[in-house]
Amino acid sequence: MLTFIKNLFSPQKQNAALAWQQAGNNAGSAYWLYAAPVHLVLQRDSFSLAAPVPLLLESNESDVLTSALNKHFDADGLMFFWHQNTWFLSLKTNPNIQTTAPQGVVNKDINAFLPIGEGAMQWAKFQNEIQMLLFDHPINLAREAKRLPAINSVWCYGLGTIENKNAN
């Protein structure tokens, strides 16, 4: 068996599938993305990405939110995981998007950095669903009561997969 890494958007960005596997998990044949919980700030006519990225969450917040996201998106073949303060998203099929790491987007209009590619329109619908699910989630209501930024979106990037091929 020959194992190789297939990074689907940019060789200089770390493949989320590789990171998931290096953390001691089985990446299988799924497509993987980092799924950073973030806080988007409404500007006059756009949204910007607030620091820090990703937002630091308590274990129970990550547990509850990933559970809610998984319940909502189960039928779509999407699964959120978190490992040592890093969220991951597993997809059964290639979303056909190119993404941007969030660190270079902080305090900027996000429109220039949203996913592009054949699947971008479908991805935007998925992102909107996430935002609606998180909008009034009890975790966010509790965070806002503590004057912490709400987790009002998830920034996905680092698309990759690990494929196993038989060596002939």
CA–centroid distance for 22 within its chain: 18
Rounded to whole angstroms, the Cα distance separating 128 from 48 reads 16
Residues facing residue 162 across a β-bridge:
5
Residues facing residue 4 across a β-bridge:
163
For 90-145, what is each residue's pLDDT tens digit?
Answer: 999 999 999 999 999 999 999 999 999 999 999 999 999 999 999 999 999 999 99
Does the pTM surpass 0.95? The reply is no
Domain chopping of the chain, boundaries: 2-165
Q: 15: burial class by Cβ within 10 Å (0-12, 13-18, 19+)?
A: buried
Residue 46: closest CA among 113, 134, 137: 113
